[in-house]
Every structure is written in structure tokens, then in C-alpha cells.
């Protein structure tokens, strides 16, 4: 009976190599093969993208809204109560973009918040229900809702 076969480890040859040229951490530009130079911007994540790529994240597309796969719906609502100064617009945008909706949200001079949501009917209904509660720190007293015809907006924005 023979014992287990142990493969021999590969032999490693030590070869003296010249050290790589030292790059300065402060060099603002770097060479991109075939595309010239571009600004080095590790903070914004540009270095891992193709030379022509934008540093901004791609916005979600609402293709299903326009292909007829989903029943499209648009509503405009006015939210009353303590809804300004508590981050209502930012939380609202987060909810809408997370649900794949387009539209806008803005503060009104009378202390209310106006928002319009466009997208699939169930996603719009979910965001409207969230608006009835609001973010932490908000005190929503009423929500006035109006249905509107779909206009085909492409993104969700915070306006002033």
C-alpha cells in the first residue's frame, strides 16, 4: 500500500527586478491608452470608468411606463402640516426614485409641499401613502390629491 501522493511545490526563482518608477500622488492627470489624458479624480470614481464616461450615476429609466406594459398614472398632491425644514423633499425624492417614478417635489410659500408623481399605478399609490406619513420629524395634517394626465417625464427632481 502506498501513501497519498503529494504534488511537489513549483520552484520559484528569485530574479532581481528594477523597482517600478515612483508615481507622485499629486499628479492630477494620467495617461489613458488611446484616449489622451484625463483628469484623475479618485474621489468621484472616474479612474475606473472609460475615458468618456460621466462621473454621475446613471438615472433609472422608466421604459416600462412608455411601452404599455404597466398602467401609467400621474398625480399631483399638496401636503400640509409641519412639512418644511424636516427634509420632506429629500425623503420624498428617495421614495420616488426607489419606486422608479418621475416627477418633482417643491416647497410652496404658504408652508405646504407640492409633489407630482408619474409611473406605474401601484408605485404611485405606495409613494402617496408614504406622503400621508412623511419622514421622521414631519407632522402631516392633510394631503390633497389631484389626478392628471401622464406627460412622460424622465426623471424626478427637487425644484424651488
* CATH 2.170.190.11 is right for the domain spanning 70-148: no
Mean pLDDT score of the chain: 75
**Given this model, what pLDDT does residue 71 score?**
73
What are the backbone dihedrals phi and psi of residue 116, each rounded to the nearest 5 degrees, phi first? -130, 130
In this prediction, the residues of the chain whose per-residue pLDDT falls under 70 are: 1-70
Write the DSSP symbol of residue 48.
G
Q: Which residues are known to be catalytic?
A: 89, 107
Tens-place pLDDT, residues 55-90: 444 444 444 444 454 579 999 999 999 999 999 999
Domain boundaries, the chain: 70-148
Contacts of 29 (CB under 8 A, 6+ apart): 37, 38, 39, 40
Cell 426614485, located at residue: 97
Say if CB 127 and CB 101 are below 8 A apart. yes
Query: DSSP readout, 55-98?
Result: SSPPPPP-HHHHHTSS-EEEEEEEEEEE-SSSSHHHHHHHHHHH
Amino acid at each position: 500500500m502506498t501513501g497519498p501522493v503529494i504534488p511537489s511545490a513549483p520552484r520559484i526563482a528569485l530574479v532581481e527586478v528594477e523597482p517600478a518608477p515612483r508615481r507622485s500622488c499629486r499628479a492630477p492627470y494620467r495617461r489613458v491608452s488611446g484616449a489622451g489624458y484625463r483628469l484623475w479624480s479618485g474621489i468621484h470614481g472616474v479612474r475606473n470608468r472609460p475615458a468618456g464616461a460621466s462621473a454621475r450615476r446613471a438615472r433609472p429609466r422608466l421604459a416600462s411606463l412608455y411601452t404599455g406594459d404597466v398602467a401609467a398614472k400621474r398625480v399631483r398632491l399638496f401636503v400640509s402640516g409641519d412639512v418644511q425644514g424636516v427634509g420632506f423633499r429629500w425623503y420624498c425624492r428617495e421614495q420616488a426614485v426607489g419606486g422608479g417614478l418621475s416627477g418633482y417635489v417643491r416647497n410652496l410659500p404658504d408652508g405646504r409641499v407640492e409633489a407630482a408623481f408619474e409611473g406605474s399605478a401601484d408605485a404611485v399609490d405606495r409613494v402617496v401613502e408614504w406622503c400621508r406619513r412623511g419622514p421622521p420629524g414631519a407632522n402631516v395634517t392633510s394631503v390633497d390629491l389631484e389626478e392628471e394626465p401622464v406627460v412622460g417625464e424622465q426623471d424626478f427632481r427637487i425644484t424651488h
